[in-house]
Amino acid sequence: MARSKIHDEKLRVCLLRRAGEIVSHDGLGGLSVRSLARDCATSTTAVYALFGGKDGLLTALFDEAFDRLRRRLASVLPGDDALDDVVRTGLAYRESALEDPHLFTLMFDGPTLLSASAAARTVAGTALGPLREAVDRAVDEKALRPDTDAATASVTLWTTVHGWATLQMRGFLPPGAADRLESALHSVLDGWRAEAA
C-alpha cells in the first residue's frame, strides 16, 4: 500500500483512532510513532506535521476522548422528569465508556497528559459538568431537597457510574448486574429526594 503524502483531517482521524487502539491494548509504552505511521499507511513526517510529535499526538488523543464524552453527555436532552434526566446522563456516561473503551482507558487509567489545571477543567467540564447541570435542575425543580449540595451529589453520582462502567468493562460485575445501573442511580438519588407533598 502506498503511503499517504496528504496530511489532511482524514489522516488525522486515522492516526488518532489507531493511536487510541494501541494505547488501550498495549498502554502508552506500546505506542511508537513509526508503527503508528505504518499502520495508517503514512510516514512519521505526517505525525509531526499534524501533531508536532508524539506528545502532541497524545494530548490530541486525550482531548478527543473528552470531547467525545462531552458530545455524548450533551446529547441527553432535558425531559419532563429532572431525576430521570440525571439518571439518563449517568447511563450515557456508561454507554460512552463501553462504546469507546480505548478512549475511556486513556482518560482515566494512568497519569494525565495535561497540566493539572487543564486536566481539572477538562474533567469538570465534560464528565462532571452535564451531570452537575442535571442535578442543579433537579434541585431547582424541587425534585431534590433544597439543602442538597449539588457538587457532592454530582461527584457521588459520577463515582457511582464511573465505578460501575469500569467494573463492567473489565468483567467484574456479578452475573445480571450490568442491567441494574439505572436502579442503582435512582437509589443513590433517593438520599437527596424531596419528600412528597
Q: Which residue has the higher pLDDT, 65 or 93?
A: 93
Average predicted confidence (pLDDT) for the chain? 87
pLDDT surpassing 70 at residue 5: no
Q: Are 94 and 167 in contact (CB under 8 A)?
A: no
What is the grid cell recorded at 90? 449517568
Contacts of the segment 149-157: beta carbons below 8 A, 24+ positions apart: 153/189, 153/192, 154/128, 155/128, 156/188, 157/86, 157/90, 157/131, 157/185, 157/188, 157/189
Average pLDDT over residues 138-147: 95
CA–CA dist 155, 132 (Å, integer): 8
Q: Which residue has the higher pLDDT, 62 or 12?
A: 12
Angle, helices 82-99 vs 101-108, to 10°: value is 100
CA–CA dist 87, 131 (Å, integer): 9
Please, which pLDDT band fits residue 165 given cuts at 50, 70 and 90? very high
Please, which pLDDT band fits residue 27 given cuts at 50, 70 and 90? confident
pLDDT surpassing 50 at residue 135: yes
CA–CA dist 15, 167 (Å, integer): 29
The domains of the chain, with CATH numbers, are 9-52 (1.10.10), 61-190 (1.10.357.10)
Average pLDDT over residues 118-134: 72
- How high is the pLDDT of residue 197? 39
Please, which pLDDT band fits residue 126 given cuts at 50, 70 and 90? low
- How far, CA to CA in Å, does 70 sit from each of 2, 54, 57? 36, 24, 20
Q: What is the pTM of this model?
A: 0.82
Non-local CB neighbours of 54 within 8 Å, separated by 6+ positions? 31, 33, 47
Average pLDDT over residues 46-51: 94
